[in-house]
Each structure stands twice: as structure tokens, then as C-alpha cells.
A and B are shown apart, each in its own frame.
Chain A
Amino acid sequence: MVKKHIAGHFRRIHHHVLPHLHEDGQQHHAHGLSLVALFAYMQIFAFTIGGFYVIKFTAPQILGVVTFTADQIIELTNVKRTENGVGAVSYNPLLAQAAAAKASNMFAENYWAHFSPSGKSPWSFMNSVGYKYVYAGENLARDFGDAQSVVNAWMNSPSHKSNLLDRGFKEIGVAVASGNVTGHEGILVVQLFATPVSQVPVPQNLAQASPSPAPVVTPIPTPIRNSFAQASPTPTLTPAPSPEPSPSSSPTPIAVAQADIIVGDNVGQSATVLASNQFSISKGITLGLVGFIFVLFAAEVVMVVRREHLKLRSGILAHLGLLGFVLLVIWYAVSGAIL
């Protein structure tokens, strides 16, 4: 009696996950792949999406939070530079202020780009805080859940990586801000690199050739390619009569927004922005559910191939292909964007 009960139980489970023949000789696919089941999976996704929106607007802390600081970005950047045999960059508060001004301006003018809609370049923010540079570069990131993911994403992009590992850069300033840009709530990271005028080495022969007046460095605007990859890591010295670098001579008015912005302070981890765990939760749910459906279809194919009395259902390979594609997309999805 018990044996029969257990056997019946196993048969029911078997029918839920594998194709089978009914008493009338007709082949039936797994109950887990019936239209009702597929409709139920759709409902699960729809309710999950709806639930996330409700939670985000009512109680976002339920999704969990991770701290996100500018100091972490600086630290991780220097770790990558050291690993690659490039000297660490030192924190500069003026560059950090410039990065914060850029982030504010992105909120104020609502854009996700290196140049503002009103035409402000990243360098104009350095000029506005009085930072005098020879070379500069900018990396941007948004919507990542933690600092490590940001730096990893930059390292996976050749143009951003060339900025990050540029030997010519000596100083760094980073701002991390939370807010809404282009209709998307999330974390914004502005990373500015530069070589200040004061740290440009004066070549011996040039110094001897023209001892008076002293050679003055002319700032060279960074050529803009893709993500502000630095064109040349070698500073060029040009004797010039102008006593002041030209970029700092004409600061332009910059719109700033009130936003929750923090900058690297190099003294502690007190300032933090909280990022949500929503992406990793969504990714887990999606991989689990789509993976389950994929496995059911794959099991059906394997079962049919192994048992000659079963027939391969028309269209099942197409379903497997699409679901496999979705799994790949989700598996390799990253939470944020870089520019």
C-alpha cells in the first residue's frame, strides 16, 4: 500500500517535469510546460516587476543596500594601477570638487554624456575650481551596485582602461552621487584624472636652452575619443609667453543641482551613498525561473532522443534557442553603464 502510494507520487512528479504517454497511448509533454504553467510563469514575472516598482517607491530599504564611496573608487583604481605596474594617482581635493560639480551639472541639465547639452566640457569644471592641468581624462559610470563593479567595467572597456592605467596621470578626483538622471534613479560616478602643471617634469636640455624666461607649460586640451581616452601619456612642454594656462582664464558659469554627492576625502569612509541590491535579486530570480523552463525543455529533448516511442514536439528547439539566448543575456548582464 505504502509502496503503491510512493510509486504514484513519483509518477506525478515525473509527469510534471518529463514527457510521458497516457493510458490512451497519446504523448503528453511535461505539465510544467503546459500552457497554464507557461501563463503562470508569465504572471510570476509580471508580479515580480510590479512588486519591485512598489517596493522602490514605498520601502526601498527592503531590497537591501550596499555602501558606495568615492574613496573605494580611488582605492580600487590605485590597486589596478599598481597591479599593472603604473604608479598610483594621488587624491586632489580640487579635482574632487570638479567631479562633484560635473555630477551636479549632470543632474541640473539632466544628461548622460561627457559634454552638457549647453556645451560644457569636463575641463570647464576643472577650470571653474581653479585646477591647472596639462592633461586630463574623464570616466563616467552609472547605476552600478558597488564600487568594484564600476572599476571592473572600466577595466573591461579598452578606452576607459587606457584612462585608468595612463602613466601620464598623477592625480585623481572622484564624486559619487545618487539621484535621477535621464529618468533613471541610481548612482552616478564621475572620475577625473589629470596631470597638474606643477608635476610636469622639465626636460634638462629645454631648461638649459632657455633659462630665462622660465618655460611655462601650455595646457593641452585632451583629445576626445570615445570615452576620453588619453591620446598621449607623454607631456609636451612648449615655452610660451603666456603666464597662465589658458583653460583657467575663462571659467564659464555652471549650473549645479542639489543632490546627494560625496567626494573622496582620503581620510575615512564616513561619506557613503547607499545602492540597492535590486539588480542582483532580479538577476537571481530571472536566472532561476528561465533556467527552470529551459531545463524542462532540454529534459524533454533528451527524453525523446533516448526513447524511440516518443516524438520530438514541433518548435521545441526554437523555444530552447530563445530561452538559451535569454539566459546568456541575463547571465552576462551588468547592472550599470559606463561612458
Chain B
Amino acid sequence: MIKEHDIFWHTFLYLGLGVGVIAVYLSRFDATRQYLILMMLVLFYLVWGYVYHHMKGDTTRRVILEYLFIGFIALLAGFLVLVS
């Protein structure tokens, strides 16, 4: 069901998210910095998604919109709690 290159790409993504978790932990009590880290992670997620689906050859408008919407939801959720 999951191919080898899928495992590689998802490991790469989750490693990035893991670094983000550590960075957010180190920036506790500084909500602005935490939000900046979240923004960088969302950007990383979007770039990862584009490259991953491009390589798989299944980059459709629906896939792109799904990534964009989820990325925006993450940014808005972070903004609501950390910034506003």
C-alpha cells in the first residue's frame, strides 16, 4: 500500500515537523516566535506537498487546494491563539 519512496518522503516530512516541535518548545513563552515557526512549518509542508505530488505525478487542482486550505487552517488557528 505504501511504497518505499513514500516512506522516505514521509520520514523527511515528519523529521521536519519534529524539528518544529522542538523549536516551538524552546520558544515557549514567546508566542510571536512560535507563530513564526508555525508559518515556516506550513511553508515547508506546502513545498513538501508540491514536490511529493509532482514526483508522483498526481498534482491535481484538488490536491493543491486541499494543501492550501489545510495550510491556511493551520495558520488561522495559530493566529487565533498565538497572535490575536
Contact = CB atoms under 8 A, between A and B. Distances in A.
A338 B78 contact: no
A45 B66 contact: no
A45 B80 contact: yes
A331 to B, nearest CB: 10
A338 B79 CA distance: 20
Contacts of B73: 38, 41-42, 45, 290, 293, 323, 326
Contacts of A57: none
A49 B34 contact: no
A24 B34 CA distance: 47
A231 to B, nearest CB: 22
Interface string A305-317: 0000001101101
Contact of B80 (A39, A285, A315, A337): A285
A318 B52 contact: yes
Nearest to A311: B1
Interface residues of B, number: 44
Interface residues of A, number: 45
B84 A286 contact: no
A49 B79 contact: yes
Interface in A320-339: 321-326, 328-330, 332-334, 336-338
Contact of B74 (A35, A278, A326, A337): A326
A62 interface: no
A249 interface: no
Interface string B30-65: 110010001001100100110011001010001101
Contacts of B10: 317-318, 321
A315 B34 contact: no
Contact of A314 (B21, B30, B58, B72): B58
Given A322-B71, A338-B29, A330 B63 contact: no
Interface string A38-74: 1101100110110011000000000000000000000
7 contacts: A39-B69, A49-B76, A153-B29, A278-B84, A319-B70, A330-B77, A332-B25
> 9 closest Cβ contacts across the A-B interface?
A45-B76, A38-B69, A286-B77, A326-B74, A322-B45, A282-B80, A325-B17, A282-B81, A338-B29
